Structure 1
Amino acid sequence: MKSTIRNIISTADWTAENLEKLLALRGEEQKELLGMGGETLLNKRGNEVYYRGLVEFSNVCTKDCYYCGIRKSNRNTERYDLSDDAILEAARFAHEHKYGSLVLQSGERDDPAFVERIDQLLKKIKSETNGELGITLSLGEQSAETYRRWFESGAHRYLLRIETSDESLYHQLHPNDEKHDFKKRLQCLRDLQKAGYQTGTGVMIGVPGQTLKHLAADLLFMKNFDIDMVGMGPYIEHEETPLYVKKNQLWPLQERFLTSLNMVALLRLMMPDINIAATTAMQTIDPVGREKAMQAGANVIMPNITPSNQRRNYLLYQNKPCTDEGADDCSNCLSIRLEMIGRVPGYDQWGDSEHFFRRTKS
């Protein structure tokens, strides 16, 4: 199989059938695949890992996705919404600690008050950091007008995870109503590209009913959609969600983790110049999961700088790590972890996706 692996990769023979075979690799063959993903990253992008200071500023959500712990129907979570001052303080922390970029993430809302608030926050963050702090938004589905407005106010990257590129499986993960429409999700990704964002998406790995065939199609979807950045990781169940009843049908946690590593390595090989995040869900399963993802080809990490008294309430899934750490603790820990695997923080850099500039050059 080793010669087959190298033959597929050297010829870029990215068929769904080949990708399924590569996703299934384990043992020594998997080590070779992961090593090739990491080697490609170092050759194409170097050993810098770009920081995105993550601020999960609200767990108020109007969506009811079947897998998510902050879904609106979950009555057993304490809702919160950080003040503008707290968000700005976190932005200043990121700037002062040379993170280069900030991610604003929350539950999904699209009401006028929310849209206006984000618009004003973007302007304030840009003003208070002398325009030096890059800003990524992860605020769900919005209108094309809202995306344009936020882009003009200072956001330049946007992450909107597709969760799965298979429409049938998508409907198994979401209620069948106008607020959870697969075609709308696709249109939002197109709107983001049109507005000028570095556009990111991602999938969950190991959801009920998912197969390697689905994941192979996800990889091809991201390549064909010409995506600039990706955040993906293993599905971790949450007991306060409808999907929890299917927990006995899930792949073992270790299988979800190993398949996630293969997804990272393969996407790095398929799209060498994009940004790929080492997600927190990887660390939920393996204490050094994020480091393993970086060694397989990930080059972005998102230290959580949400005030620690609220982190425990932003639980999309159970057993989320680092919910009791302060922002300084998280920063110090990450720099040590990076040094252990031969990576260095890309301080004071936005760490933009090279793919974006190639995609938009024409």
Structure 2
Amino acid sequence: MDRAEILHLLNDADGEAVRAAAGRELLRAKGERVFVRGLIEFSNVCRRNCRYCGLRAQNRALARYTLSQQEVLDAAARAVALGVDSIVLQSGEGAADAAWLAEVVREITGSLSVPVALCVGERPERDYALWREAGATRYLLKHETADAALYARLHPGHTLAERVACLRVLKDLGYATGTGFMTGLPGQSVESLADDILLARELGVAMCGAGPFIPQAETPLAHAPGGTAAQNLRVLSVLRLALPEADLPATTALASLSPGGQAGGLRAGANVLMPSFTPEARRADYRIYDHKAPVSMEDAARAIAAAGRTSGISGRIPGAA
């Protein structure tokens, strides 16, 4: 699939036909199963000032927090007890002390026997290597947009090249790498969306997320128009056709845009959900964007059932099929 074909699927092809093709490719390449990753947002501290993100360092209206190791371990134990396939530890950039996080990874992989993915941003190679040695097997680092000029405008003081270089280092260290981007960004073109898909394919990622842009009130883009669910679902379907073997999440942002959004994402080609196990008292403070849906394990089970799919959580919790 070349750039011209991707552009055709994104822009001109019949949407229903694209979704149907993505559904067939999903079943061929990945099967019916939906993988459920337990998400723990352990800190909202961030050193960067991305223009769209509510965690940006200059946001003085946000109550900052960092969970204790025990709080993280308790949340992970609860997620595992409910049947998640793996744990995802996420924070703002620069929040995690490398040794502290390595201890948490060792404890989760050792005592709970589940894979751990990290999503803590750009770090020195020595930190990535330490966490890999501690037992982390996946690393999620979204490139956000493959348009270098747009990336620079949205991420003051940082470049797309730096981001991509980190992804290459992670892959060289043996991580199953994940990237991702937003749909509906101010200044984004359909051509840059095609380039997002091509970059993910070039990097050979194991996972790629595509979530809609949703404005946050304490950011420079507070009044910018957001992305749409319809565009996001089409991009998900094209991603499935272009990267048939990759894991694709139906994002929380999609759930936040529309009721039933995650079930729609699963029908469009996604095969991953990431319900939150962040302690309830802190969930509202992990405010990347406004009106964030509180996706629970029960919500995940309902979305899977509505999409007619299966998972390892079926029968374990209320609402499971």
Mark yes or no: TM-score above 0.5: yes
1:118 is aligned to 101
2:197 is aligned to 219
TM-score (norm 2): 0.94
Highest CA radius of gyration, 1 or 2? 1
Match of 2:117 among 114, 121, 136: 136
Amino acid at match of 1:47: E
Q: What is the alpha-carbon distance in structure 2 between the residues aligned to residue 346 and residue 38 of structure 1?
A: 20
Equivalent pairs: percent with the same residue? Answer: 37
Deviation at 1:110, TM superposition (A): 6.5
Deviation at 1:308, TM superposition (A): 0.8
2:191 alignment partner, SS class: helix
Question: Is 2:26 aligned against 1:45?
Answer: no
Give aligned pairs, total. Answer: 314
Does the 8 Å CA contact 1:94/1:100 hold for their aligned counterparts? no
2:185 is aligned to 207
Does the 8 Å CA contact 1:163/1:203 hold for their aligned counterparts? yes
Deviation at 1:19, TM superposition (A): 1.9
Match of 1:127 among 95, 104, 110: 110
Where does 1:22-61 land on structure 2 (aligned, <5 Å)? Answer: 22-25=9-12, 29-61=14-46
Match of 2:235 among 260, 263, 266: 263
Deviation at 1:92, TM superposition (A): 0.7
1:122-171 Cα shifts (integer Å, max 9, x gaps): 11112221xx2111100000111111110110110000000001110101
Match of 2:286 among 314, 331, 350: 314
Q: What is the alpha-carbon distance in structure 2 between the residues aligned to residue 92 and residue 205 of structure 1?
A: 34
Question: What 5-or-longer segments of structure 2 have no aligned partner?
Answer: 315-321
Q: What is the alpha-carbon distance in structure 2 between the residues aligned to residue 316 and residue 39 of structure 1?
A: 33
Deviation at 1:20, TM superposition (A): 2.1
Deviation at 1:296, TM superposition (A): 1.0
1:272 alignment partner, SS class: coil
Does the 8 Å CA contact 2:148/2:159 hold for their aligned counterparts? no
Deviation at 1:181, TM superposition (A): 2.8
Deviation at 1:193, TM superposition (A): 0.2
1:93-115 Cα shifts (integer Å, max 9, x gaps): 1221121200000111177xx11
1:8 is aligned to none
Deviation at 1:224, TM superposition (A): 1.5
Report the structure, 1 or 2, having the larger helix content.
Answer: 1
Does the 8 Å CA contact 1:58/1:106 hold for their aligned counterparts? yes
Does the 8 Å CA contact 1:52/1:300 hold for their aligned counterparts? yes
Question: Is 2:168 aligned against 1:196?
Answer: no
Match of 1:183 among 156, 161, 167: 161
Question: Is 2:145 aligned against 1:173?
Answer: no
Residue range with higher mean Cα deviation, 181-190 or 150-159: 181-190
Does the 8 Å CA contact 2:43/2:95 hold for their aligned counterparts? no
Deviation at 1:44, TM superposition (A): 1.6
Does the 8 Å CA contact 1:36/1:296 hold for their aligned counterparts? no
Q: What is the alpha-carbon distance in structure 1 between the residues aligned to residue 230 and residue 84 of structure 2?
A: 29
Match of 2:52 among 67, 78, 81: 67
Amino acid at match of 1:121: V
TM-score (norm 1): 0.83
Residue range with higher mean Cα deviation, 218-227 or 192-201: 218-227
Does the 8 Å CA contact 1:335/1:344 hold for their aligned counterparts? no
Q: What is the alpha-carbon distance in structure 1 between the residues aligned to residue 79 and residue 217 of structure 2?
A: 33
Amino acid at match of 1:125: I
Deviation at 1:332, TM superposition (A): 2.3
Amino acid at match of 1:119: A
Amino acid at match of 1:284: S
Does the 8 Å CA contact 1:162/1:185 hold for their aligned counterparts? yes
1:345 is aligned to 311
Amino acid at match of 1:78: A
Amino acid at match of 2:57: K
Does the 8 Å CA contact 1:237/1:243 hold for their aligned counterparts? yes
1:158-209 Cα shifts (integer Å, max 9, x gaps): 000000011101011011x2xx232211110000000100000011111111
Question: What 5-or-longer segments of structure 1 have no aligned partner?
Answer: 1-11, 349-362
Q: What is the alpha-carbon distance in structure 2 between the residues aligned to residue 88 and residue 300 of structure 1?
A: 22
Q: What is the alpha-carbon distance in structure 2 between the residues aligned to residue 232 and residue 118 of structure 1?
A: 26
Say if 1:305 and 1:25 are closer, same or farther in 2 by CA, change over 3 A. Answer: farther
1:331 is aligned to 297
Q: What is the alpha-carbon distance in structure 2 between the residues aligned to residue 279 and residue 261 of structure 1?
A: 11
